[in-house]
Amino acid sequence: MSDAFQLPKLVPLTPKLARLVLSKLRDGTSPPGAVEHLWVDRGGWAAKMSKQLDRVAEDDLTDLRIATGEYGSGKSHALAASATRALSKNWAVSRLRFADTDGLDSTTMFHLIARNLIVAERIKGKDADAANAYMGISQDGTDWLFRHEARKLLKKHTKEPLPAQSADRALARLIESASLPISASRALSAFCRAEWDGSTDLRNAVSAWWLNGEPMRRPVALEKQTNGMSMIGALARIVRAFGYPGLLVTIDEVEDVRKLAPKKRSAAWENLRAQIDFSEAPGLMLVLALATAGLTGKEGPEENDALASRLRVAKRAALDPEKKFDPNATILALDKLKFSEGDLRSVARQLRGIFAEGFGKAETRLEDGEIDQITQDVIEEAGRAETDRCRTLVQMIVQVLNERREDGDFSLDGLRETIRDVIRREPRRN
């Protein structure tokens, strides 16, 4: 079992969080948070990713990685693990799904990144806001971050604590002194003024004006002043100015770019090309999930000659079955990382623990021997289709645990046929 590299437990597994995770898994989807409670590190790629985060931060780099693989290969789980590791290193993180967008042009991408931004301080609380932010439900990320940093600075530079409603105005007075970092104070004061005026346009313009060293003379829409890539770079530098090592952006289901109208699809692939070439955002790392069919099929990256050229060598290595998985490659071919029998048993036992937390130990009726039986059945039915193994096992374990909760005498007889049906229905490629 390749679990030597463990993800840090960012949040405790509460009964509510456990039930939320189980509901996602029952539906066949990977939850965006709590991945550290259901984890095996195949092939050591997560340890390499952790080191790359350090390198990006220390050497002021901009980096892009693409996780690719067939349905069930663990792309979404890999993105969630990367986000968890980054948060544990005090990075700011923004997790997106292509399904939540109307395209992947740089301006749309910027607004989504800003809206979904989270940092470790936010998710460590015990309230609903912290849990929602961790599971990707909250959508006021940049607003929260600016207010949080404003109050941190106020606490540092004032003798008496101020009421929350007075914090923004008090910050403006502090600007006149030289006690605050000038970069952070400009951004925060502009943001606060926009809040007072109720000006969305002014608030949106903060990044571009501040980072270009321009005075804020009038409220203008950000898109009229700079392009989306500059805005993303601006946000990355804001994050660094606040003391975070870097900004990690993950985007899942990028293969759905192929469903866009030709003009939007072209803009999306050009934006991805720009991400590879972009080097104006030190501490920015992007990790995308792109199904194998989206990488190689019609209306994929090959539509953009420049993007196809930049990915050609990495794609050739990723798709070559004779080449081993390379955790340092631009394209991370997750299909090459197999779930061993030990990995699958570990996943099943972790699932049982999550269920016990969610519904109580008395309601969790699944013995080690039964886990071994289900695991073996899944392996034998999946055969050579190894990417079916883990997803099918997860669905079967959750199903059995739920059935046993309703009927303590539920038998595993006939489960083999259910496993066969599930595998038969699973698409082989996205």
Going from the first residue of the chain to its last (430 residues), give the mean pLDDT of each consecutive group of 10, the final group possibly shorter. 66 86 80 82 83 94 89 86 92 86 73 84 75 72 72 61 52 42 48 47 42 38 47 76 89 87 85 74 89 81 85 88 88 87 91 95 93 91 68 89 89 85 62
The pLDDT score that the predictor gives to residue 27 is 73
The pLDDT score that the predictor gives to residue 154 is 59
Q: 96: helix, coil or strand? A: strand
The pLDDT score that the predictor gives to residue 2 is 43
Residue 326 bridge partners (DSSP)? none
First to last CA, the chain: 28
Long-range pairs for 129-137 at CB < 8 Å and ≥24 separation?
130/11, 131/11, 131/14, 131/16, 131/17, 134/10, 134/11, 134/33, 134/34, 135/17, 135/20, 135/31, 135/32, 135/33, 135/34, 136/32, 136/33, 136/95
The pLDDT score that the predictor gives to residue 4 is 54
Handedness of CA 249, 330, 228, 262 (dihedral sign): negative
With b meaning 16 or more CB within 10 Å and e meaning fewer, what string describes 364-393?
bbbeeebbeebbebbbebbeeebbbbbbbb
CB atoms under 10 Å from CB of 361, counted, come to: 11
* C-alpha count within 13 angstroms, C-beta hemisphere, residue 31: 25
Q: How far apart are CA 399 and CA 209, in angstroms?
A: 53
Distances (CA, A) of 148 to 156, 172, 185, 195: 12, 15, 13, 14
* Domain segments of the chain as ranges: 41-119+244-336, 136-228, 341-425
Q: How far apart are CA 224 and CA 231, in angstroms?
A: 11
Order of strands, edge to edge, in the sheet holding 92-97?
117-118, 92-97, 247-252, 284-291, 62-69, 331-333
E strand residue ranges, 302-386: 331-333
Structure tokens at 32: 């965006």
Q: Which CATH architecture has domain 41-119+244-336?
A: 3-Layer(aba) Sandwich (3.40)
**What DSSP line would sit under 318-340, residue for residue?**
HH-TTSPP-TTSSEEEGGGS---
Q: Which alpha helices (H) appear in 45-105, and where do they start and end?
A: 45-58, 75-88
The pLDDT score that the predictor gives to residue 242 is 77
With b meaning 16 or more CB within 10 Å and e meaning fewer, what string describes 199-222?
eeebbbbbbbbbbeeeebeeeeeb
334 burial type by CB count under 10 A (0-12 exposed, 13-18 middle, 19+ buried): buried
Q: How far apart are CA 176 and CA 185, in angstroms?
A: 10
Contact call for residues 271 and 306 (beta carbons, < 8 A): no
The pLDDT score that the predictor gives to residue 384 is 58
